[in-house]
Structure 1
Amino acid sequence: MLSRSALPLLALDVALGLAAWWAAFWLRFNLDVPPEFARLALVSSPWCALGTAAGLVLRRVDRQVWTYIGLPEFRQLAGGVVLGGLVTAAIVLMLRLPEFPRSVLLLYPLLAFLLMGAARGAWRSFAEQRHQVQGGTPVVIVGTLDEAAGALRALRGSQRWRPVGIVSPLAPERGRTLQDVRVLGSIEDLPEVCESVDARTALVASPPGSEQRRQALLLASESHITLLTLPRPDEWLKAESSGPRRIELEDLLGRAPVALDVAGLAELFSGQVVVVTGAGGSIGSELCRQIARFGVGRLVCIDVSEYAIYQLEQELRQAHPQMHGAYYTANVREYERLHAIVCQHKPAVVFHAAAYKHVPLMEELNEVEALRTNVLGTWNAARAASACGARRFVMISTDKAVNPTNVMGASKRLAELVVQAVAAQEPRTQYVSVRFGNVLGSSGSVVPLFTQQIERGGPVTVTHPEIVRYFMTIPEAAQLVLQAGLMGQSGQIFVLDMGEPVKIVELARMLIRLSGKTEQEVPISYTGLRPGEKLYEELLANDETTEPTPHEKLRIAKTAGPLPDVEAVVRWIADAGALPASDALRQWLKGQVPEYGPR
């Protein structure tokens, strides 16, 4: 059914169709239509109008918004014109009009599409010109023509932004024009180009992690140019992500999005009960967000921090009001409490993210706390999962568990071994562990520390100029943990593809530039390696090999060596007391984890 707002545009299309009908006669007779054929054109005009209207309505061309016309709409228009031409031709042929020129039936659709398309193009051009006249912040696009095309589409019709130029890394593209926006130079010319077009903002269209982004950042910070980028695909779903935003560290270190087995994960979580320990932490809370997306029946969130679990409750209640959540303050070191919670809800899957992870803090004065939380807490969670009938148990581990040089890493390696030992004893539950490196923006990580130091004016403290680490974003880490939990077989340890390692000093420099400052304004100082800290992290121990999985970013670590006597491990930690001797604790830990080499 036609809406009232569509009737004027449909009437205009029909009028243009009639003009094309008469133009077809005019061209057929070399610009001089004989009187008898003019009468034929007049008699057949109502049928042309009827056929044209029928074709356009059947193809729903009447629903188009001319201000935002594009190639899909032009293809739709072509279909409507061809269909209208066929209807018109059928009517005219059935009427058997004497000596009707058949060539008019062929010329008419071509001329009709030309006139209707020209009207739409003129309307679109007028609308865009009006927006430009009304103003908008001038912005320079950074990227190749292919990349800039996507950015221009995203800015189409925007009254806030007005593209005034493009800088491209490809020399052959310089001087060319895209959607009436000219390529004014290379990326190295960004400051001069912005000055010439009176723009103080640049929109980076190059993909995350590209060298063009880093180069633009260096130039922009030196010239005080505001650097923007378009939201990532996952951000388009958020109401606040409706247009360009400031560029962030994740955009500079970005990688290809994680491909998830959505169907498999939906089957695993939909309508099921899932428990997450350490739910208030960086990884735990992101796991909860991701799990909630898959229609979980009940999400049971456990954390020792009252404030963290309160924040998570408020967020999930607002984002997923239909989801049934249960929020507990509990310590994984207390088995009876953990067992009671898990058995009350009888989950299908348990994600164990509760852990102490800060290396220097666990290296001195708090060594026994790392053992109690990371080892005993893991043992408690693993056996509670089995006792309460969980089908899967997934422990979050770390790259610091590989050839560990600190207590935290050794405690996580021992936790992996404990999970494997429980897996050998409890065949009803599938136990897996997942290792990954540093997560951007997680609590206790280097990025929030650097950000605070930059806000104070520096210096930014880096332990060593050559120290490197693997990094990934919190959503990427959580998604791969879910994928590993779906794919894993009991006793396996998964290793995530962390990409290329990043020098910490380069990370610091990028954060300084992102703040709009230079290293002269915010200096970097080197403080020396801390106790237990390595120059680089490993994802696999020397005696391990990996084998691929169906997922390109997940591999399985094949471990060697005997599994620990879990009962003996638990007894030693319990008997160690509240303040065991540091040397004795390290010596015992080395006996449990032979690859542990204290520094």
Structure 2
Amino acid sequence: MGDTIATFETTNAGGTMAARCFGRRNCSMAQGEQMIAGKSTGTGIPHAWAVRLTRAHKKLILLPIDTLVISASLWAAVAVRLESLWPVYVWASGWWLLLAVPFAGVAILSSVGLYRVQVRSMGRHGALRILRGTVLIALVLTAFGYFDNRLVIPRSTPIIFALLLACSLIATRMIGRSYYRWLNEQGVERRPVLIYGAGESGLQLLSALDAGREFRPVAFLDDEPSLVGSFVAGRRVHHPRDLDALLANFGIGDVLLALPSISRARRKEIVEFLSQRSVKVQTIPSMAELVSGIETIDKLRTVGVEELLGRDAVDPDVDLFTSVRGRSVMVTGAGGSIGSELCRQIVTARPTRLVLYEMSEFGLYLIEQELAQLVPNCVELHPVLGSVGDEPRFEQAVSQHSIETIFHAAAYKHVPLVEANPFEGIRNNTFGTECVARVAERCGVKRAILVSTDKAVRPTNVMGASKRLAERVFQRAQQRSKTTLFSMVRFGNVMGSSGSVIPLFQKQISAGGPVTVTHPDVIRYFMTIPEAAQLVIQAGSMAEGGDVFLLDMGSPVSILDIATRMIHLSGLDLKDDDNPHGDIEIVFTGLRPGEKLFEELLVDGSALPTAHPKILRSLDVMAQEVDIDAALAELHAAVDNADRDATLALLRRLVEGYSIETITKSGVESGSVGMQNSIDRLDPSGVSLQPATAQR
């Protein structure tokens, strides 16, 4: 069979060995016969012969079968109409019809393209070809009776004949399709699965899975009352409350979501419900991906923990893309997680020019290659290799390309690494931002937007302190500038960014564990990278000068809860004291140097709404009692001299809430101090008293 995948397996004391033969023409006879022999001794030879059939052979088999079916349908039609098995007065003069009509019928069926339809994929289109062919064959029978007066054929006989023939032809092909599927499944253990969603998408997914070899759909789940209890394509639709019984009865380990168009909030509810069981949850692509043709209904992907955010997307405000549309735009750190997504979304807004400024050659290569496939012809794309700390090089790039808007996303962001390398962190995050501000002002850049972090608020680590200083650099630049609007956008963790906790958990789960969590009470704010980048662009367009924008991060999420749910969504059991025979264990490693139990977005606890529902404007103001220019000059000298004590002392003086005790040379005490600082600002429920969401 041209498309058959034959499989055989041999079981012995050592286990099961499965060998697959992709049954095209290069599939040997021995392999096909071995496949069948492994499953059936008495009927192995006929099945092995069927495996080796080519499409031409299958057509040659269908022709005599259809000839017999047409002849039998004609005889049956006359018998039914005249209530006699062999009415002599009909067949005495019309016996030749049992030969002529079948041959004419086969020719007609061939002309309507029936023999180009694969039996294994027989569906609606094949059935329509059969109906068209049977009507034409019935008309041929009518014509024979009309032109030959010797024939005694009742006028209703062609109608009965057409109905019987259509049913018979469809039935033979359904039998052939069932046989093909049975043959295709021999030696393959298809995993039983549930499909959540019994609508049109669920039905399409079922058809795709039935034609495959990996999954065996056993039932549907749906909470629509009108569907519960009904049957869809032969599978019963159950209410979600029946999930546990179905898992136990069928040994199901996978649930497939066929709900491409539901809201994120509803998807969150469903994923939370499923994540309480040890089932692997996969989903079909989103409706946007299906409509655009990027993905197909059978392209399943594992449900990520981002599904638990449950935040409905807010459509971007086209009026808030003025900072990039039709302008010459530069993104620093263009190869990073946020920088690369900024680039992807900026090109869709059609700037005149997009300059990718990146220090990593490999990172720049990757994003340039990706954008080259996406960028419209009207947009110029320029990759520039360089560091934001190299002021002459940066100024050359800004001047050469007449940059109007800069998104400054270049930064060292990994807290433990910056904690171990504080001078480099300050050079890149703070002094690099100084270079960007000076160049933007000198070159007449219209807007400069700093991508900041919630770790800049009352930081307990060098990374956060260096980013808070970067914010103050932009605020000081705004006080001096008469041409450039400087603004900052502050937000929390993004799902899936390089080095973040989600990819780490995924890697640890794939490796069999353990999953490492720093502390059972750690909570974080999360949003997706595309959402964060989109909001950064829109916030930059609302800037009036010196603004600190905050992105709505939703509700904080427990890191321990994320780890637990990721284990369950992977179809594995958590190994703990209550379940010592589980699959994956969670190990607590203690807070890392400079790490907090929770993060905040506000320095002084106040913010105002903006024109966008997911963007707030902070009322943070720069402290006036410190001469920032003189202090930064001192910091330059301390960093250049690698004077750690002086550097930390300056950070404590310049950054609100930063304590020098949070960092030690050995890094041993920092975790406990950071933890205590965090605990002091928690209410009895364990939730921060000062995150941005508390002010809304």
Q: What TM-score comes out, normalization by structure 1 length?
A: 0.71
Provide the identity percentage. 41
Seen in structure 2, the aligned counterparts of structure 1 residues 262 and 195 have a Cα distance that, compared at 3 Å, is: farther
Aligned twin of 1:149 = 199
Q: Out of 405, 428, 453, which is 2:460 matched to?
A: 405
Q: Tell me the distance in 2 between the aligned counterparts of 1:131 and 1:371.
A: 71
In the TM superposition, residue 511 of structure 1 has moved relative to its aligned partner by 2.4
Residues 543-581 of structure 1: CA deviation (Å, up to 9, x unaligned) = 231000121111011013425544324422321144533
Q: Tell me the distance in 2 between the aligned counterparts of 1:485 and 1:241.
A: 36
Q: Tell me the distance in 1 between the aligned counterparts of 2:419 and 2:659.
A: 13
Q: Out of 327, 331, 335, which is 2:391 matched to?
A: 335
In the TM superposition, residue 177 of structure 1 has moved relative to its aligned partner by 5.8
Q: Tell me the distance in 1 between the aligned counterparts of 2:175 and 2:634.
A: 77
Residues 199-228 of structure 1: CA deviation (Å, up to 9, x unaligned) = 95532536545232122234352xxxx532
Pairing of 1:578-597 with structure 2 (within 5 A) = 578=640, 580-597=642-659
User: Are the equivalent residues in 2 in contact too, given 1:190–1:216 (CA < 8 A)?
Assistant: no
Q: Tell me the distance in 1 between the aligned counterparts of 2:494 and 2:646.
A: 32
Seen in structure 2, the aligned counterparts of structure 1 residues 339 and 187 have a Cα distance that, compared at 3 Å, is: farther
User: Are the equivalent residues in 2 in contact too, given 1:470–1:501 (CA < 8 A)?
Assistant: yes
Q: Tell me the distance in 2 between the aligned counterparts of 1:132 and 1:479.
A: 49
Aligned twin of 2:610 = 549
Q: Which moved more, 1:472-481 or 1:553-562?
A: 553-562
Q: Tell me the distance in 1 between the aligned counterparts of 2:538 and 2:233.
A: 42
Seen in structure 2, the aligned counterparts of structure 1 residues 555 and 67 have a Cα distance that, compared at 3 Å, is: farther
Q: Out of 155, 167, 180, which is 2:221 matched to?
A: 167
Q: Out of 294, 299, 304, which is 1:248 matched to?
A: 304
Q: Does the residue aligned with 2:256 lie in a helix, a strand or coil?
A: strand
Paired residue type of 1:447: I
Q: Does the residue aligned with 2:277 lie in a helix, a strand or coil?
A: helix
Q: Tell me the distance in 2 between the aligned counterparts of 1:566 and 1:335.
A: 20
Aligned twin of 1:272 = 327
Seen in structure 2, the aligned counterparts of structure 1 residues 379 and 591 have a Cα distance that, compared at 3 Å, is: same
Residues 42-63 of structure 1: CA deviation (Å, up to 9, x unaligned) = xxxxxxxxxxxxxxxxxxxxxx
Residues 331-378 of structure 1: CA deviation (Å, up to 9, x unaligned) = 1111111111111111121100001111112223x1122221111111
In the TM superposition, residue 307 of structure 1 has moved relative to its aligned partner by 0.8
Aligned twin of 2:85 = none
Paired residue type of 2:607: T
Residues 412-469 of structure 1: CA deviation (Å, up to 9, x unaligned) = 1111111111112113112110011111111121122222222332211111001011
User: Are the equivalent residues in 2 in contact too, given 1:140–1:165 (CA < 8 A)?
Assistant: yes
Seen in structure 2, the aligned counterparts of structure 1 residues 157 and 400 have a Cα distance that, compared at 3 Å, is: same
Q: Tell me the distance in 2 between the aligned counterparts of 1:234 and 1:397.
A: 30
Seen in structure 2, the aligned counterparts of structure 1 residues 130 and 381 have a Cα distance that, compared at 3 Å, is: farther
RMSD between aligned residues: 3.2
User: Are the equivalent residues in 1 in contact too, given 2:281–2:571 (CA < 8 A)?
Assistant: no
Q: Does the residue aligned with 1:524 lie in a helix, a strand or coil?
A: strand
Q: Which moved more, 1:148-157 or 1:528-537?
A: 148-157
In the TM superposition, residue 513 of structure 1 has moved relative to its aligned partner by 2.6
Pairing of 1:457-476 with structure 2 (within 5 A) = 457-476=512-531
Q: Does 2:402 match 1:352?
A: no
Seen in structure 2, the aligned counterparts of structure 1 residues 182 and 453 have a Cα distance that, compared at 3 Å, is: closer
Q: Tell me the distance in 2 between the aligned counterparts of 1:583 and 1:195.
A: 66
Q: Does the residue aligned with 1:219 lie in a helix, a strand or coil?
A: coil
Q: Which has the larger radius of gyration?
A: 2
Q: Tell me the distance in 1 between the aligned counterparts of 2:176 and 2:222.
A: 25
Seen in structure 2, the aligned counterparts of structure 1 residues 198 and 444 have a Cα distance that, compared at 3 Å, is: closer
Pairing of 1:166-565 with structure 2 (within 5 A) = 166-168=220-222, 174-176=228-230, 182-190=236-244, 192=246, 195-196=249-250, 201-203=255-257, 205=259, 207-208=263-264, 210-221=268-279, 226-233=280-287, 235-236=289-290, 237=292, 239-240=294-295, 242-246=297-301, 247-265=303-321, 267-320=322-375, 322=377, 323-364=379-420, 366-519=421-574, 520-541=582-603, 543-563=604-624, 565=627
Pairing of 1:121-160 with structure 2 (within 5 A) = 140-142=194-196, 148-149=198-199, 151-152=201-202, 155=205, 158=208, 160=211
Q: Does the residue aligned with 2:423 lie in a helix, a strand or coil?
A: helix
Seen in structure 2, the aligned counterparts of structure 1 residues 192 and 411 have a Cα distance that, compared at 3 Å, is: same
Seen in structure 2, the aligned counterparts of structure 1 residues 421 and 139 have a Cα distance that, compared at 3 Å, is: same
In the TM superposition, residue 173 of structure 1 has moved relative to its aligned partner by 6.5
In the TM superposition, residue 156 of structure 1 has moved relative to its aligned partner by 8.5
Residues 515-553 of structure 1: CA deviation (Å, up to 9, x unaligned) = 332222221111111121111111112x23100012111
Q: What TM-score comes out, normalization by structure 2 length?
A: 0.61
Residues 291-347 of structure 1: CA deviation (Å, up to 9, x unaligned) = 111112211001111111011111111232634211111111111111111111111
Q: Does the residue aligned with 1:210 lie in a helix, a strand or coil?
A: helix
Q: Does the residue aligned with 1:309 lie in a helix, a strand or coil?
A: helix
Aligned twin of 2:117 = none
Seen in structure 2, the aligned counterparts of structure 1 residues 256 and 584 have a Cα distance that, compared at 3 Å, is: same
Q: Does the residue aligned with 2:356 lie in a helix, a strand or coil?
A: strand
Q: Tell me the distance in 2 between the aligned counterparts of 1:149 and 1:478.
A: 34
Aligned twin of 1:36 = none
In the TM superposition, residue 152 of structure 1 has moved relative to its aligned partner by 3.4
Paired residue type of 1:537: E
| Structure 2: gaps (5+ residues) | 1-122, 126-166, 575-581, 663-696
Aligned twin of 1:90 = none
Q: Tell me the distance in 2 between the aligned counterparts of 1:570 and 1:191.
A: 66
Seen in structure 2, the aligned counterparts of structure 1 residues 183 and 489 have a Cα distance that, compared at 3 Å, is: same
Q: Tell me the distance in 2 between the aligned counterparts of 1:169 and 1:518.
A: 26
Q: Tell me the distance in 1 between the aligned counterparts of 2:383 and 2:281.
A: 40
In the TM superposition, residue 587 of structure 1 has moved relative to its aligned partner by 1.4
Q: Tell me the distance in 1 between the aligned counterparts of 2:299 and 2:536.
A: 30
Q: Tell me the distance in 1 between the aligned counterparts of 2:450 and 2:537.
A: 11
User: Are the equivalent residues in 1 in contact too, given 2:204–2:297 (CA < 8 A)?
Assistant: no
Q: Tell me the distance in 1 between the aligned counterparts of 2:355 and 2:176.
A: 51
In the TM superposition, residue 185 of structure 1 has moved relative to its aligned partner by 3.4
Seen in structure 2, the aligned counterparts of structure 1 residues 379 and 199 have a Cα distance that, compared at 3 Å, is: closer
| Structure 1: gaps (5+ residues) | 1-65, 69-121
In the TM superposition, residue 484 of structure 1 has moved relative to its aligned partner by 0.6
Q: Does the residue aligned with 1:301 lie in a helix, a strand or coil?
A: strand
Paired residue type of 2:270: Q
Q: Which moved more, 1:182-191 or 1:482-491?
A: 182-191
Q: Which moved more, 1:298-307 or 1:242-251?
A: 242-251
User: Are the equivalent residues in 2 in contact too, given 1:306–1:329 (CA < 8 A)?
Assistant: yes
Residues 160-219 of structure 1: CA deviation (Å, up to 9, x unaligned) = 589763324578964256788643232452562685598955325365452321222343
User: Are the equivalent residues in 1 in contact too, given 2:515–2:587 (CA < 8 A)?
Assistant: yes
In the TM superposition, residue 262 of structure 1 has moved relative to its aligned partner by 2.5
Paired residue type of 2:558: K
Q: Does 2:628 match 1:576?
A: no
Seen in structure 2, the aligned counterparts of structure 1 residues 193 and 525 have a Cα distance that, compared at 3 Å, is: closer
Q: Tell me the distance in 1 between the aligned counterparts of 2:555 and 2:564.
A: 18
